[in-house]
Amino acid sequence: MKILIASLLLLVGTCSKQRHSEKIKEVKASIVFKKIPTVQTYLNTITEVDLEKHLTEIASDKYAGRMSGEPGHNAICDYIKSQYKALQIKAPKNYPGYFQTVPKSFLPEDTNTSQNVIAYVEGSEFPDEYVVISAHSDHIGIVDGKVYNGADDNGSGTSAILEIAEAFKLAEQNGIRPRRSIVFLHVTAEELGLYGSQYYIQNPVFPLENTVANLNTDMIGRIDKRHEGNDNYVYLIGSDRISTELDFIVREANDEFVNLDLDYKYNDINDTNRYYNRSDHYNFALQDIPVIFFFNGEHKDYHKSSDTIDKISFSALKKRTQLIFVTTWYIANSNNAPLREVL
């Protein structure tokens, strides 16, 4: 009897492994990029020159370190809004001025009223399904008389979103709209504790139940010590925690178009840095929305006045921005949204 039971358990385990393996193969096989020359055309519109132009503005002293609720941050939100208006990228219908006000009562004590900035490109076939690309626009202001410009944190991510938005708008102008809607979300008060994204989640501009993924960009313009001398990498955090398929998508996008080294070191659930919990994607993940956090790792200038634009690797920033663009393109144009299933 013991031999029979053991044999049955072995058979069940083998069959289960076979089904699991077959399912993974099926999901991988379903991820096929079409119209590659078309994708490459718009991918190539993301340039180092344009990224540097945005970042030079965003990380300048005139914004006084972009502290949430302060005049410098309000001014950078005006700059972001002006870029969307110039490109004729739409504001949400209920927020025609692009700003979602985050009230003083929601923010930490002594923080003034602030705002998230939101724009979107409407989908052609599934306009009520949304891919949200996020980046926080704030930094930590002026400390002991020194301006903390936050070129990497998170001028880099803010610049990336603006470039990605322009690439999708250029495609739209040429008659190529994404099948799903793409939301460009610039959140406030990340540095104070992820308040801007938390407010968005509690007061969603687009329905959370129809939000198929969040791609979050926070610090993507520098090289960390682990990769010193190599700008051809990016850390992926959270990409396989809610949807294995989302992780397969970003890998396939990378293999097809960008060929960065994808580093999962900080994706480890036991990582003591807890980066998964420390940027705005986390508030989406708490709602069981598949997420990816794109990150370059920490460096010696993190949260210091020395986080300045002269230290940015625009080659790295361009390639990482391009990876986020092509990942968004696939999610927005695939037949089905990423499965919320871990295989």
% of the chain beyond a pLDDT of 90: 89
Any domain includes 25: no
pLDDT number for residue 22: 79
Chain segment 200-251, per-residue pLDDT in tens: 999 999 999 999 999 999 999 999 999 999 999 999 999 999 999 999 999 9
| Contact predicate 55/312, CB 8 Å | yes
Region 294-321 average pLDDT: 99
**Pairwise CA distance, residues 175 & 178, whole Å:** 10
Radius of gyration of the chain (CA): 21
Any domain includes 4: no
Chain segment 44-77, per-residue pLDDT in tens: 999 999 999 999 999 999 999 999 999 999 999 9
Any domain includes 295: yes
Any domain includes 2: no
**Pairwise CA distance, residues 238 & 230, whole Å:** 23
Q: In total, how many domains does the chain have?
A: 1
Average pLDDT, the chain: 95
DSSP symbols for 19-61:
HHHHHHHHHHHH-----HHHHHHHHTT--HHHHHHHHHHHTSG
Any domain includes 153: yes
Any domain includes 131: yes
Range 64-97 burial, b when 16+ CB lie within 10 A, else e: bbbbbbbebbbebbebbbebbeebebbbeeebee
Give the pair of three-digit tokens for residue 323. Answer: 């990876």
Chain segment 2-32, per-residue pLDDT in tens: 555 555 555 555 555 556 677 677 777 777 7
Any domain includes 19: no
**Which structural domain, as residue segments, surrounds residue 315?**
37-333
CATH code, domain carrying 310: 3.40.630.10
Any domain includes 136: yes
Task: State the pairing for strand pair 114-121/126-136.
Answer: unpaired
